[in-house]
Amino acid sequence: MEYFIQNITIVNEGKTVAGSVLISDGKIAKIVPEGEVFDANHATLIDGRGKYLIPGVIDEHVHFREPGMTAKADISSESRAAVAGGVTSVMEMPNTIPQTTTQALLQDKFDLAAEKSLANYSFYLGATNDNLKEIMATDPAQVCGIKLFMGSSTGNMLVDQDSALETLFKESPCIIAAHCEDEEIIRNNTQQYKKLVEEGRALPTANLHPLVRTAEACYRSSAKAVELAAKTGARLHVMHISTQQELSLFRNDISLQNKKITAETCPHYLFFDDNDYDKSGFAIKCNPAIKTAADKQALREALHSGLIDTIGSDHAPHLIPEKFTDDYFTAKSGFPSIQHTLTMMMELGVDLAQLVTLMCHNPAILYQIDRRGFIREGYHADLVIVDPHSEHQIAPEELFYKCAWTPYLGQSVHTKVTHTFVNGNLVFENGEIHDECRGERLVFNRN
């Protein structure tokens, strides 16, 4: 089907220009500058007046919980939430049940996504202390990367043997996407605060989280990963940076194409700080922990300075009963957010062209994704229309998350995604999902 999006403001490659776009045969067929006459009589017309057209968001950090935890979420439900939020491509993590640590289990996930996902997709192979053979069998043109947990989190896929780490950094055929927290520090802090709670000298509330999973734990682990990457020449992407101190490990004096060590942060580290635990409690408990107001401000500034390269949601659904307990030590870490990542980032007041760079262009460049992440003729028509004049409160009835909650509920926002196209198919339109089509497996242009 052909669509002609007309009279819209196109935000792409650092520029904001008026024009129209023709979608045909799943591709961006024509970009028409404002004032140029173009015959689109056979296309379905969409009036973009007063709205923005951006490339589809590429979220390189999601947990869709399938297989094994489908009471919380599944590929079908969470890909619906993704496209409702303007996310057209996702890269999903391996800490499912079973853990995705073999090529056979990886292929099982690709088969599930081909059947269920509205968004385009890829999956990380998980690293363990002893699965190097499986890692070496990974096709870098077909798989987004290798996920390395240098600190334990949901699913506990910790890689803690120095010999295994060094071999992985030397031999990995793909980008290493790392969760960096020092396990020894976390373990010692956990024991300390459990004792304080047992003695009645501390309360088991969410406020303990940044005291257990500290800035020091993040920095020590991130520094180790960066040191290993520099030593071995590995391609390293450190995920969910949450502290000011970690920013010193990264560079902003070279282009992204030439960086081998890069950094991601997430909206919640830019939106919340440790003052919000009193109000939001376990709703914002996540790993790494949300830290101080100073860390939040430093991360916001890093978006502008180039020390942060991408924004990922770290979308991590849990059921309400396992999140909202009365005990810090049992409340699950992580929360659903992919439907609101773009909206919340726009709410921070970051220039939209810069957000497009961080959320669309840079993931495409960093992962070398084939013909996505930009509004260019001949590229896949992954496109999003955003209404910047749609003030509302995030309400339960708009949620597509299977677990039916988010810490952003009740938040006043000024923008709304109105249309999402995936491979030229209109999959989301004014609050309604069109689920006739499925996304495609991402392909990577790697040597």
* Lookup result for tokens 């609101």: 340
Residue 138 to residue 123: CA distance in whole angstroms = 11
The predicted pLDDT at position 152 comes to 59
338: its two tokens: 């992919």
The predicted pLDDT at position 156 comes to 56
Mean pLDDT by 10 residues, the chain (447 residues): 96 97 98 91 94 98 98 98 98 97 98 98 96 97 96 67 93 97 96 98 98 98 97 98 98 96 98 98 98 98 97 98 96 98 95 97 98 98 98 97 98 97 98 97 93
In one-letter notation, the amino acid at residue 197 is V
pLDDT (tens digit, 9 = 90+) per residue, 148-197?
998 655 555 788 888 999 999 999 999 999 999 999 999 999 999 999 99
pLDDT (tens digit, 9 = 90+) per residue, 415-427?
999 999 999 999 9
The predicted pLDDT at position 402 comes to 98
* DSSP H stretches of helix in 50-131: 75-84, 103-116
We find that the CATH architecture of domain 3-53+377-389+414-433 is Roll (2.30)
Residue 135 to residue 137: CA distance in whole angstroms = 5
Asked if 429 and 118 touch (Cβ cutoff 8 Å), the reply is: no
Q: What is the mean pLDDT of the chain?
A: 96
320: its two tokens: 């309400």
The predicted pLDDT at position 153 comes to 54
Residue 176, phi then psi, degrees to nearest 5: -95, 115
74: its two tokens: 């599944």
pLDDT (tens digit, 9 = 90+) per residue, 241-279?
999 999 999 999 999 999 999 999 999 999 999 999 999
The predicted pLDDT at position 157 comes to 77
Helix axes 215-232, 183-198, angle to 10 degrees: 170
Question: What three-state secondary structure class fits 158?
Answer: strand
Residue 422 to residue 400: CA distance in whole angstroms = 17
Pairing state between β 44-47 and 412-413: unpaired
56-367 to CATH, choices 2.60.120.10, 3.20.20.150, 3.20.20.140, 1.10.287.3510 = 3.20.20.140
The predicted pLDDT at position 336 comes to 98
pTM above 0.85, yes or no: yes
Asked if 264 and 305 touch (Cβ cutoff 8 Å), the reply is: no
35: its two tokens: 């004032």
Question: What three-state secondary structure class fits 48?
Answer: coil
The predicted pLDDT at position 155 comes to 53
Could you tell me where in the chain the CATH 2.30.40.10 domains are found?
A: 3-53+377-389+414-433
Could you tell me where in the chain the CATH 3.20.20.140 domains are found?
A: 56-367
